Amino acid sequence: MKSYIPNLLTMLNVLSGCIATVFAVLNHLEWAALFVLIGIFFDFFDGLAARALNVQSEIGIQLDSLADVITSGLVPGVVMFQLLSMAERGGWNLGFIGHDTELTFLPFVGFAITMASAYRLAKFNVDEDQVSSFIGLPTPANALLILSLPMILLYHNNEMLNNIILNPWFLVILTVLCSYLLNSPIRLFALKFKNWKFKDNGVRYLFIIGSLVLLITLRFLAIPVIILFYVLASLLVPSDK
């Protein structure tokens, strides 16, 4: 019976991703971000449960990546589609993009994130060199980065930030950059603790503490800063393979 617990958590990740997708398509980006966060929560604990219960399985590994394609791949792609649509229409608009809305090519560039995420997850499944570290930006981290943009628009209400985020060039460049980082050869540390000693986990402890401080002080604006800090810290401090 206990062998089903991790897979149940993974299926809850799938469900969260499906709900987030619906909200993203309807342009309710705040709710989409919430359910992506819930999905990432389940994504973290399914692996933890599998290790704690000693019930890791090949099916569980494959199912985990399939769930991430939805929650951390499809949803951020749809959100970037919506942001590019808003940028093209010239402003922040949470209205539903209906069938009578004229569509151009530009918003579909956002789905490069979905394609890059799917490719990254496929590589992860066949790569045995990503146990205690990652090669390329993990899809949940990338999803949080993309989902932070509408949250910054909603809750920070800063004209300069709004103009930057809703600039089509900024969004296209960010899409290309995220697609590269997802499949880059950069090795990034994972938040997996083999023990609780500061000597062996100093970078992880400092990253967690620094992230909490940034979230308290900068709120949603902290997320892009944390992702940048994560990449730079991994480059400066060699990660365990």
Q: Per residue in 132-183, pLDDT tens?
A: 678 899 999 999 999 999 999 999 888 999 999 999 999 999 999 999 999 9
pLDDT in tens, 177-204: 999 999 999 888 777 656 566 666 667 7
Which pair of structure tokens corresponds to residue 225? 């800063």
Cβ count within 10 A of residue 44: 14
Ordered structural domains, the chain, with CATH: 4-187 (1.20.120.1760)
pLDDT in tens, 61-92: 788 889 999 999 999 999 999 999 999 876 65
Cβ count within 10 A of residue 238: 11
What is the Cα gyration radius of the chain?
A: 18
Q: Is 122 left (phi over 0), alpha (psi -120 to 50) or beta?
A: alpha
CA distances from 18 to 12, 15, 143, 176 (A): 10, 5, 14, 25
| C-alpha to C-alpha distance for 69 and 133, rounded to whole angstroms | 20
Whole-prediction pTM value?
0.88
Q: Which of 10-24, 145-159, 223-237 has the lowest average pLDDT?
A: 223-237
The structure tokens 């503490």 sit at 209
